[in-house]
Every structure is written in C-alpha cells, then in structure tokens.
Amino acid sequence: MNRLGAAASPYLLQHKDNPVHWWEWSEEAFAEAKSSGRPVLLSVGYAACHWCHVMAHESFEDPATAALMNALFVNIKVDREERPDIDHVYMSALHSLGEQGGWPLTMFLTADAQPFWGGTYFPPTARYGRPSFIQVLQQIAAIHAQEPERIARNASAIKAALQQSETAARAEAQYEPGLDPIASEIAQSFDPHHGGLRGAPKFPNPGLTELLWRHGSRTGNATTLLPATRTLERMARGGIHDHLGGGFARYSVDERWLVPHFEKMLYDNAQLLGLYALEAKRSGDPLARSAAQGIVTWLERDMLLREGAFASSLDADSEGVEGKFYVWTAPELASHLAPADAGLFARHYDVTAHGNWEGVTILNRLDTPDPDPASEQQLANIRRQLLALRARRVPPTRDDKILADWNGLVIAALARASRLLAEPTWLGLARRTYHFVTESMRHGDGLAHSYRAGRLIAPGFALDHAAMIDAALALHDATSEQHFLDHALRWSAHLWRHYRHADTSLLGMTLGDSIALPVLPRPTHDDAVPNANGLHAGNLLRLATKTGASTDRAQAEQFLAAVLAAAERAPIAHGSILNAYDLARHGVEIVLAGPERERLREAALALPYTTTMIVDCPDASALASDHPAASMARLAGSGAAFICFAGRCLPPVTDPNQLQDAIAAGR
C-alpha cells in the first residue's frame, strides 16, 4: 500500500519501506480521501533534513503509529525541493496559524486540499511543550469526524489569510526605494560582532549580505560594507565552513557560526561562491579567495554527477548521527598525526581535549591565531591528510536529483567567479552544467524543474527559468557566444507569456496543477533562494542593455516598477528586488566594440558584476541608432570600450588597465 517505490525523488524513496500507506501528491490520493471520508495528512520534507529523519524513525517506521495513520488519514508525502509550490502554500498556511514553520512540515487537509491545522515535528511522546504525534492524530481525526463545522471554519479562515498574503500590493504611485536608509536599516539589524542577522540560528542570507556589500562598495560607507564583510569573514572562520573539504552548511544553530546544522545545500554554496569571489577581488583577502576555491572544490568532488550537472544536497547525518562525518576528537587526531602536526593543528583549529560541541570538535578558526606562511603550508598538508582520512568514513547521503533553478545559480556563479578570480577551469565547469540542463531538461519552449534517472518533473517553475536566464547571461558575458543570448531571450519570452499575471504584471511561481491548491502561489519575497521576480528584474535590465531595443527597455522598466511595488511593504524581505533596483540606478553599461576587444572584455569581467552590464558589439553599426554610444562606437577602431551611465557615455577607453579608473572618474 506504500506507493513511493516508483517515485523519482530520493527523499520519497527514503520512505518507500515505511509501513505508512504513503501516496505521492496526486489526483488519486485526493479521490481516495473523498471516497473514504478521511482527511489528508500531508508530510513535506527533503532528503538532507535531520528532523525529517528523526520523525521518520520515531513515527513513520513505527508499525503502531503507521497503523493509526493508515486508519485515520490518507497520507501524502512531498519533497519540498521537487514541489516548492506545494511547500510554499502549506508553509504559508502554517504561518497563518501563528507557527514559526520548518521541516518536516505536517499539515492536515480536507479532501479538496484545504488546510485546516498543522505543525512541524511532533515527538512520539509528549515533550518539548508539544503533544505526542499519536495524540495529534487521534484529536484531529476526532474533530474532523465530530465537528465538521469547526473544520470548515478553520479551513475558510486559513484560505482567507492565504489569499490576502498572496495578493500583491499595487502602489498608488511609483515606489522609489531609498537605498541609503534601507541599507542603513539592514546594517543595524546585523550582528556587530559575528555578522549575519542578530541572534540564533544564523543563516547566510546571501541577498541581504549582497545588498550591504553593493552599497558599501559603491559608496565607500564602512557602516554598510563592514557588516557584509564581517559576515563573510566570520562564516569562513566558523564551523559552518567545512575547513577540510570546502563548502558551507545550511545554517548555524548558534550566533557565532560555530555549530552548523550539517546538511550542505547546493543553493547556499552557489550564492556564497559569488559573494566570496566579489570580496576576494575587492579586498585581496586570502580567506575569501580560499572560501570560494573551497566551494568549487567541494562542488567538483562531492556534488558533480556523471550527467555533468550538480546534485541538490548532502545529508546532515551519517550512520544515523548528525555531523558524525565532519567532527573529530583530540585523541583521534593524535593517533593519525605526528605530535608536532597535531599540536599545530589543534592550536589553529580549536581542537581541545573535551571538544567544543557534545564532546567532539567542530573544526573552526573563530578565535584562533592566523598562521604565518610557513605554518600555513604545513597546515595545508595536514588538511590534505585529514581529508583523505575522513574520506574513509561513511559519507552522508547525497540527494542526486538535478534541479534547474539551483544549477542555474551555480552556473552563473561559476561563470562570474571564474573571471573575477582568473580561474578558467570554472568556466568550463559552468559550460558543462549548462549544456546538460539545456539539452536534457527542455520542456517545450521552457524548462523542466527536476531530473533524476532519466525522469523529468515538468513544467518548470518561474525560478527555474529566471535562474537559467541569469546563467545564460553570465555565460554570454564571459564568451560573447550568441546562442547563450538566444536562450536567454527565448526563456524570458516564455516566462512573460506563461507565468506573468495580468493583474499585477508579476510572475507566479507555477503554471498550475491538475489539483487545485488553496491559492495560486505568487510570492515576491526571497527565501533561501532569490525570488524569481527579483532575479528576473535584473535579467530584464541586462537583456535590454544587450539588445538595445526600446521595447525591451520598456518591459524592464515596467516589470521593475511592478516588483518594487510588491517590495514596498517589507523591503528587508526583498533583497533580490532591491539588488535589481540598485543595478537599475547605479549600473554601468560597458559597450565593447571593434575586432580587438578581448583584452577589454577580460578587464570588464574582472569588475564587480553587481554593477556592470556588458554589451558585445563586434559591428558598431549594429547598435541601435538611439543608443548614446552609437555615434562614437563607429570610431572604435581596432577595439575600444564605451562606458555609459543612464544615457551618457564617456570617451572611448582603449587601454584595459584604465577601464576601472575611467568608471570611477565618470560616476
């Protein structure tokens, strides 16, 4: 009766042997609920989720609990990464009940998919101030059977709250955010000592960190730059960073970045790669460069699949223990290292006799001295030894589904970081991944969302297309190959045609489903990944710059106005939209003209991609006649760069070494 054996999702397959009669999300499951008169128990999680595993072991693998679930409910299991639209709607429903949310998400629905109550993790016995899962099952089933009017009232109230939350704001007048006060407000919400938003747990928040980095770098304002750089520095020193294998865990449970929740997610590392590359280029900080290089090393070693694209995540647990793969003890290190090496490593990576977390050591450099060059070389050798030793352990499980949106984020980051840090092999890695997604995940004129073992989950979501458009634009900048721009234009037209809602001009998350969700998900705020609306606002600005078409400029301006109206109510939740607005207000257009422009391209790509928009113009006559550089570009000779700000262009630059100074002088 468990129907998950044929699922594509590794998370669902983890539950295929449960005694619970799980269904996938399907019309058949809801038909069963209607015909049997039972409510639906919806359980949403993901493969790398520690507490999902805990609840599965305690409850879903328990025959008595499973028997109760089977008798009282139609049980549906959903992978939130495979179906982010379902997760978004029902997590929003939980929030409307005043709950904080998290995974596993446990929601109770009527037979027509309307939520009426829910929670997250429920223990097998009453503790943590929460009822036992069995108590919850019995009480919900009893209320559903005996008080249908109460269920209807709850469902109606939640639906009304969902409809209100998914209604985009319409500004009476065009909203022009004050980036200076917004950046100042966000900076004040960051922890002055440890970086990141104040308190615990601590998440990377790449969108807000980027916003502060953009503002501080552009203005020279340490008040906004320092919180961003401190966040990156403390994360790179913290236990959230894998100091042996590279890459970052999903979040830290404490305020110091010491103790991670050990799962590693592709999307976090994609966004952090771009930020660390930007900071390494700006400051020359070897710690930032090392963090960026470590992310790519981890991507290649642990996440790259034979198809050429990247897996989604690594589990937090191995051998049923959270973090076991990553932690060490002082005796263990002493048994494998020479005494002098063990002492040096302990001094620089916080190794003590009693450990720094539950009797073991999470490697970190938060409060340890920086090594001198000779010691750093010795430490590098020790790290290689320990990495080889760690590789003999039982590794965390890898979720090997390929998601178009997360891979798009990686492709864009690799392409841009490759040029910022002069790492040409990273560009080849980006190309390979892009080729797989475009060739194997096509779905009509658009893209599928997920691929695994030859099976597609389609159609894709708005973010799949927005992220892959960004990836195509990054590759077009890096290579000037026309097919990348052609793909970006095609996917953008697909988004505009199929995902945009006429009443708001905003992108909805999904094309819809044969099973009607309580509301059509149309979020604009960022989550752990940037929202499709914010990401695509930046895409449209770059596309309009590249094509020079007045219709594309009008579309970009129209869409930016719409997303800004949506962000007005809660700017801090809309970092990607504000970053797009920053690009619109302060972006620099660099027109590369003439047959010998490659060295100028390399110089342009070494500048922060947060403020540069590159136009490749081998034939100067191809520029639109109303482009401010049109008349000058015809005089480019063998090669020149024209720097343009909001309708005005500077005299041509022919020396690549002068490009950055010319931009600074022309602002």
Q: Which residues contact 2 (CB under 8 A, 6 or more apart)?
A: 15, 16, 17, 18, 19, 20, 21, 22
Q: Are residues 23 and 153 in the same domain?
A: yes
Q: What is the mean pLDDT of residues 104-110?
A: 97
Over residues 511-538, the pLDDT tens digits come to 866 567 888 899 999 999 999 999 999 9
Task: From 165, 186, 218, give the residue that closes a domain.
Answer: 165
Q: Which of the four pLDDT bands, split at 50, 70 and 90, describes residue 633?
A: low
Q: Looking at residue 63, what is its pLDDT?
A: 97
The dihedral sign for the CA sequence 201, 206, 208, 212: positive
Of 372, 392, 412, the domain-final residue: 392
Whether 57 and 83 share a structural domain: yes
* pLDDT of residue 157 exceeding 60: yes
| Containing structural domain, residue 147 | 10-165
Is 462 among the domain residues?
A: yes
Residues 60 and 152 in one domain: yes
Do 595 and 536 belong to one domain? no
Both 506 and 604 in one domain: the answer is no
Judge contact between 208 and 196, C-beta under 8 A.
no
The answer to whether 537 and 559 have CB atoms below 8 angstroms apart is yes
Q: Is the pLDDT of residue 638 over 90?
A: no
How many domains would you assign to the chain?
A: 4
Q: How far is CA 152 from CA 145, 369, 399, in A?
A: 12, 62, 38
- Does 569 lie in the same domain as 438? yes
Which residue did the predictor score with more confidence, 67 or 595?
Answer: 67
pLDDT score of 114 more than 60: yes
Over residues 181-209, the pLDDT tens digits come to 999 999 999 999 999 999 999 999 999 99
Q: What is the pLDDT of residue 168?
A: 56
| Integer Cα distance of 444 and 407 in angstroms | 19
Closest to 277 (Cα-Cα) out of 287, 264, 267? 287
- Supply the pLDDT for residue 539: 98
- In angstroms, the CA 358 to CA 211 distance is 36
Confidence band for 398, pLDDT divided at 50, 70 and 90: very high
* Sole residue written with tokens 């970006």: 488
Answer whether residue 149 is part of any domain. Answer: yes
Which residues are CB-contacts of 608 (< 8 A; sequence separation ≥ 6)?
Answer: 217, 278, 281, 282, 420
pLDDT value, residue 631: 65
The per-residue pLDDT for 634 is: 65
Sequential DSSP letters for 68-135: HHHHH-EEEEEETTT-HHHHHHHHHHHHHTT----SSEEEEE-TTS-EEEEES---SSSBTTB--HHH
608 and 563 within one domain: no
User: pTM of the full predicted structure?
Assistant: 0.95
d(CA 111, CA 534): 35
> What count of other Cβ atoms lies within 10 Å of the Cβ of residue 340?
9
The answer to whether position 242 is within a domain reads no
User: Per the domain annotation, does 496 fall within a domain?
Assistant: yes
Over the chain, what is the mean pLDDT? 94
Is 440 found in the same domain as 343? no
Closest by alpha carbon to 153, among 125, 205, 98, 115? 115
* pLDDT of 238 higher than 90: yes
628/313: higher pLDDT: 313
Q: What pLDDT sits at residue 106? A: 97
The SS3 of residue 572 is helix
Check residue 160 and give its pLDDT: 93
Confidence of residue 593 (pLDDT cuts 50, 70, 90): confident
Domain of residue 612, CATH code: 3.40.30
pLDDT of residue 630: 67
| Residue 249 belongs to some domain of the structure | no
Q: Which two tokens stand for residue 190?
A: 């960051």
29: CATH:
3.40.30.10
Do residues 409 and 452 share a domain? Answer: yes
Are 547 and 611 contained in the same domain? no
Most confident of 165-174, 193-202, 640-649: 193-202
pLDDT for residue 299 is more than 90: yes
Mean pLDDT in residue range 211-226: 97
535 and 638 housed in the same domain: no
Looking at 582, 610, 636, which one is the last position of a domain?
A: 582
d(CA 169, CA 157) in angstroms, rounded, equals: 21
In a domain, 219, yes or no: no
Residue % of the chain over a pLDDT of 70: 96
Location of structure tokens 């003590």: 352
Would you place residue 129 in the very low, low, confident or very high pLDDT band (cuts 50, 70, 90)?
confident
Instruction: Give the three-state DSSP class for 457.
Output: strand
| 635 has pLDDT over 90 | no
494-506 average pLDDT score: 93
- The mean per-residue pLDDT over the stretch 476-499 comes to 96
Query: What's the CA gap between 252 and 197, in Å, rounded?
Result: 12
Question: What integer pLDDT is reported at residue 4 of this predicted model?
Answer: 97
Specify the DSSP element, H or E, that contains 264. Answer: strand 264-265
Q: Could you tell me if residue 286 is inside a domain?
A: no
- Region 349-367 average pLDDT: 97
For residue 412, CA distances in Å to 79, 171, 273, 293 come to 25, 32, 10, 15
Q: Are residues 614 and 514 in the same domain?
A: no
Residue 628's pLDDT is: 66
Q: What is the CATH number of the domain that holds 512?
A: 1.50.10.20
Q: Which residue has the higher pLDDT, 597 or 424?
A: 424
Q: What is the pLDDT of residue 617?
A: 84
**Is residue 164 pLDDT above 90, yes or no?**
no
Comparing C-alpha atoms, which of 367, 395, 387 is closest to residue 264?
395
The one-letter amino acid code at 520 reads L
In a domain? residue 88: yes
